Amino acid sequence: MIFYLTLFNLIFIVNKTCGMLNIEFDVKNECSVRLETDHGIETCLNQQCSDFKDPWRVINSHIQDEPCYLHYLKLSFTTYDQLLVFIELQQSSNNRLENFFSNDETKHCMLEIQINKIYPFNENYFLSEDMLNKLGGPIGKIDILQIEILNWYNSTRSVIQIIDNNIVDRQPFQQITIFYPCNFYHTMERLVLAKYLAYQERSSCPSQINVINGDELLISNDETIYIQKYKPINTFQYDDFNKSYNKSDDTNDNKNKSHQSNLFAKIFIIFIIIIGICLLFAYHYYCSSSQSSN
């Protein structure tokens, strides 16, 4: 009996672990969405609303004038500050963004945000706790937040953005995925943050985003000084942004590397589990033989 329970638990763990390595999401047209913009009321399909830059707020989601609830929505902003304005206006309308998302627990709900430029001149500017809680809402219907930043302004005034693991636990999104250009390496990087992890993954571009885990908070100031002092940073002017990156090539390369890493990780985990099952079978056979001889 213990043998079969152990085997069941192993299969369950493999399934959960492999699932966490790569979250697949089915993006499709579900609802028409009404946005309030500088040009008045605009209507778009939920995955095409990024065509309207800098919306003020989402008014409703519908199909033929009947309420419709989203599993996916994509929005686009010229700057990160415009996103912050959208969040405050949506909050002031007493109709939170999560109200337009589905309560269906069998499917993930995802909010994708594309930002053209970010100017990180202040500390605790990027992904603050207050910003995330206002954007995600108190109920937490939106499981996944994906942010893609196309241009990260860098100068002597730029400040390294610190992300505290404790803040990740106190915000509503189950997972936050960030794509952003690393000015030092001239590549598009990906950072994944998930709730209730003892340690978040390290940032691959700490000269721009630095993730602090647990007891590392005690040395965060020294670590920040170290990065600023010893990490050489190329300074890019505003007009040089479009020349600095070939976004499509970098993004495709990083996606291919990510898929390959996930595949190798899954194969390795399955290999370990197979060895474990074989050992359990051998142990079970040995115990059975011993009992028969007695």
Give the chain's radius of gyration (CA, Å): 23
- Model confidence at 22: pLDDT above 50: no
3-state DSSP percent of the chain in helix, strand and coil, to 5: 40, 25, 35
pLDDT tens track for 79-131: 999 999 999 999 998 899 999 999 988 889 999 999 999 999 988 899 999 99
Q: Is the pTM of this model over 0.85?
A: no
Q: Is 194 exposed, middle or buried (0-12, 13-18, 19+ CB in 10 A)?
A: middle
CA distances (Å), origin 80, targets 53, 76, 77, 153, 201: 12, 10, 7, 11, 23
What pLDDT score does 246 carry? 43
